[in-house]
Amino acid sequence: MYNLSPRISTLWDQLFHWLADRSGVELEVIAHAAPAPLSELWARPDMGAVFMCGFPFSQLSPAERPQPLAAPVSLADWANGQPVYTSHIVAARDKQLTEADLATARWGWTVRDSQSGYNAPREFFAMLANRPSAAQTVGSLLNPRGVVDAIRSDTIDVGAIDAYAFQLMAMHEPDMIAPLRIVATTKPAPFPLLVAARQQSADIVDALRAALLGAHQDTEGSDILASLGLSAFAKPDVAAYDQLPIRARAIDAALGAW
């Protein structure tokens, strides 16, 4: 879900090759590029270490969930040293738009099972003091690249981009976000987590989890993390993910669906 460009994908490949080496678990790095549905990836019984958005993870019963391995800790200030992320509300750099204008702006959203691209911007909009009963919305835009393209084509005025995706683009693909500026930032939520299929053995899961949680203490691992804008991986707080459906229901009550 963070394969935002060939250059960034190469960095993730390095991480997963390092993980295979340190854990002793044979991992095959596969491409699962948009528009292939992420739900298909998350249903695979051979998942070894795959990013999963916290909202769809939280909607599964404990018996249905894949096994949580680790959650990233970003080096960005918005993470505050915790395995959380936010969404940036972005607009065209040359558009005279302030936070006060967001209530009447045209909003873009990605997919309805996304925390960063759907629930986060709806939660932000619901809290605007001067908002109308319904927003002007355009979706589904699928992913952050879709939001960027819709802003550049003037299809929408603003959209939410996963702050970690924005961080990666700022680090490695600055031209992708050069036409954008951040107007506001949403409330934090637990970071998308790396998961393994529930069918994987305890030995495999334990080996992958231990390697990830110790990556920041390994010289090569630490360098790879830094190249991805991360300081470490942390143990996921499953209870924090369980709060996401509660937040989503409150947004539904306030706004309904976009």
What mean pLDDT comes out for the span 201-227?
98
As to burial, measured by CB atoms within 10 angstroms (0-12 exposed, 13-18 middle, 19+ buried), residue 147 is buried
| Bridge-based pairing state of the strands 189-190 and 84-85 | antiparallel
From residue 26, alpha-carbon distances to 10, 20, 200, 222, 240 in Å are 18, 6, 13, 21, 31
pLDDT in tens, 79-112: 999 999 999 999 999 998 888 899 999 999 999 9
Residue 205 has pLDDT above 90, yes or no: yes
Whole-angstrom distance, CA of residue 62 vs CA of residue 82: 24
Query: Residue 232: how many CB atoms within 10 A of its CB?
Result: 21
Crossing angle of helices 163-172/6-23, nearest 10°? Answer: 110
Whole-angstrom distance, CA of residue 121 vs CA of residue 101: 15
- Can you give the pLDDT at residue 40? 87
Residue 39 has pLDDT above 90, yes or no: no
Q: Please, where in the chain does CATH 3.40.190.10 lie?
A: 6-75+190-245, 84-189
Q: How confident is the model at residue 33 (pLDDT cuts 50, 70, 90)?
A: confident
215: three-class secondary structure by DSSP: helix
From residue 74, alpha-carbon distances to 71, 124, 179, 186 in Å are 10, 22, 24, 16
DSSP 55-79: HHHHHS-TTTSPEEEEEEEESSGGG
Nearest to 251 by CA among 150, 145, 159, 114: 114
Please state which architecture CATH assigns to domain 6-75+190-245: 3-Layer(aba) Sandwich (3.40)
Whole-angstrom distance, CA of residue 232 vs CA of residue 134: 40
Please state which architecture CATH assigns to domain 84-189: 3-Layer(aba) Sandwich (3.40)
pLDDT in tens, 130-188: 888 778 999 999 988 899 999 999 999 999 999 999 999 999 999 999 999 999 999 99
